[in-house]
Amino acid sequence: MALMTGEAYIESIRKLNMQVYMFGKKVEDPVDDPILRPSLNSVRMTYDLAQKPEYQDLMTAVSGLTGERVNRFTHIHQSAEDLVKKVKMQRLLGQQTAACFQRCVGMDAFNAVYSTTYEIDKKHGTHYFENFRKFAAYVQENDLTVDGAMTDPKGDRSKAPHEQADPDLFLHIVERREDGIVVRGAKAHQTGVLNSHEVIVMPTQSMRAEDADYAVSFAVPTDTPGITMIIGRQSCDTRKREGGELDVGNSEFGGVEALTIFEDVFVPNERIFMCGEYEFAGMLVERFAGYHRQSYGGCKVGVGDVLIGAAAVAADYNGAAGASHIKDKLIEMTHLNETLYACGIACSAEGHPTESGNYLIDLLLANVCKQNVTRFPYEIARLAEDIAGGLVVTAPSEADLRDPKVGPYVEKYFRAAPGVSTEDRLRILRLIENLTLGTAAVGYRTESMHGAGSPQAQRIMIARQGNLPMKKRLAKQIAHIKD
């Protein structure tokens, strides 16, 4: 099958019979719901750009499984160059959507599961690697979008999965059959799951022998019986139902998360990639987290480019672009953003092959990248709000601007630099609001903190990967100290 067009992607999602709930009601038509559609448009962009010759090198790759050209979001990384192109692709998509385009989790799950299943098979003589290769080839041949599901609700964080008062707080196996397994539980914060054809489930943390039933990885279609999605609430989300587009800020694109319930879901044997091999849960989590922390050096940078541009436009419209402190703030925003990008490129360029043959990023640098992402976008957002001014949060609505009675007052009193319309000024301010406070902030500011693991998770990995004993030896050698 050729690469899917964006329109064909939309229609393929429309054919799925997913169980989606929002605001206490079942969503009968998720594709055309005004709150949900912008998130679908963001995924569509990953298909539309792959159709453009000028983006072929970034958006597509030649599959090591089929030999055919595939969307890079379904690709198994074959080199450090592949890893670098991944980050560049993510920056491009962030620039084009100013939102979360939702396919990174599936791509990162693809590559983590690929190498981990190889090593499980090597130790246990299982057939997970072949299972996954067949699944990956199926996804590539049909150009499907895949969600990666790792985060469990976790319940009491002080207790292991098997110690929880409610065993379902971590997704687990409840029945083993000759033809497959039955699982129960939930995955939280699932970005883009309702815009995906398939979902790959992974364990959420390292496991002990007592947690063997929780050490499970598999893939199923998103409309499999027993799967229910409950859409997460976002700031300003109902503005999308008001009919206007100015107040939304970014009316075309967005992201969406869901609590995804697995209520006695059957998984056939050929779709199982881990089934009780608890000692490999940590490896899978570590590799997935590394890939996903690399991703943030691309996607967040692309959205940051848009936010920096919006702040610069706001300064122009306010008549303040010539002020030295404004110039300095824009420089600082750019410095922070490019530092994130440098980390994403660095951990990619230092990538190396796994035993299975696909490439893994440098885990230390990937975790440094994400640690910076937990901080820098917050400062970039603060500076954007500083430059834009208080009107970001006090501007009247689009309905007031259009109103025959009060509209002229809005026009008169919120006009600024000569030649700039009040409407254009309000549009750029609403975009800044969207990126720093509104629905897009979920995929930029807040996700920068908690996506791919909390800041402490990266610090733990930095401690593990930092090789402090080697650095001690270097210091003693230079100081001529003998043990």
336-to-37, 73, 342, 456 alpha-carbon distances in Å: 32, 27, 10, 21
Closest CA to 59 of 32, 91, 22, 18: 91
Supply the DSSP string of 184-229, one letter for each residue: EEEE-S-TTGGG-SEEEE--SS---GGGGGG-EEEEEETT-TTEEE
- Strand order from edge to edge, sheet including 216-221: 146-149, 198-201, 216-221, 272-275
Alpha helices in 211-318 (DSSP H): 281-318
Q: Decide if 447 is catalytic.
A: yes
Closest CA to 229 of 172, 188, 177, 182: 188
Task: Tell me which of 292, 341, 369, 439 is the catalytic residue.
Answer: 292
69-to-43, 93, 354 alpha-carbon distances in Å: 19, 19, 23
146-to-192, 258, 320, 413 alpha-carbon distances in Å: 9, 15, 45, 49
Task: Tell me which of 47, 278, 291, 296 is the catalytic residue.
Answer: 296
Structure tokens at 140: 């590539």
Q: Decide if 104 is catalytic.
A: yes
Distance of CA 327 to the CA centre of its chain: 31
Task: Tell me which of 46, 128, 197, 299 is the catalytic residue.
Answer: 299
Under 8 Å between Cβ of 104 and 90:
yes
Closest CA to 114 of 270, 268, 273: 273
Q: Would you give the DSSP letter of residue 49?
A: G
Structure tokens at 158: 């002080």
Q: Decide if 343 is catalytic.
A: no
Task: Tell me which of 47, 77, 104, 119 is the catalytic residue.
Answer: 104
Task: Tell me which of 277, 286, 385, 447 is the catalytic residue.
Answer: 447
Q: Which amino acid is at 111?
A: N
Q: Decide if 296 is catalytic.
A: yes
Q: At what angle do helices 324-349 and 281-318 cross, to 10 degrees?
A: 160
Q: Decide if 114 is catalytic.
A: no
Q: Which helix (H) or strand (E) holds 345?
A: helix 324-349
Task: Tell me which of 100, 275, 343, 347 is the catalytic residue.
Answer: 100
Structure tokens at 42: 């963001």
118-to-110, 196, 263, 390 alpha-carbon distances in Å: 13, 25, 29, 55
Coil/strand/helix, residue 262: strand
Distance of CA 358 to the CA centre of its chain: 21
Q: Decide if 100 is catalytic.
A: yes
Upper half-sphere CA count for residue 20 (Cβ side, 13 Å): 27
Task: Tell me which of 198, 257, 277, 286 is the catalytic residue.
Answer: 257
Task: Tell me which of 74, 191, 224, 422 is the catalytic residue.
Answer: 191
Active-site positions read: 100, 104, 191, 257, 292, 296, 299, 447
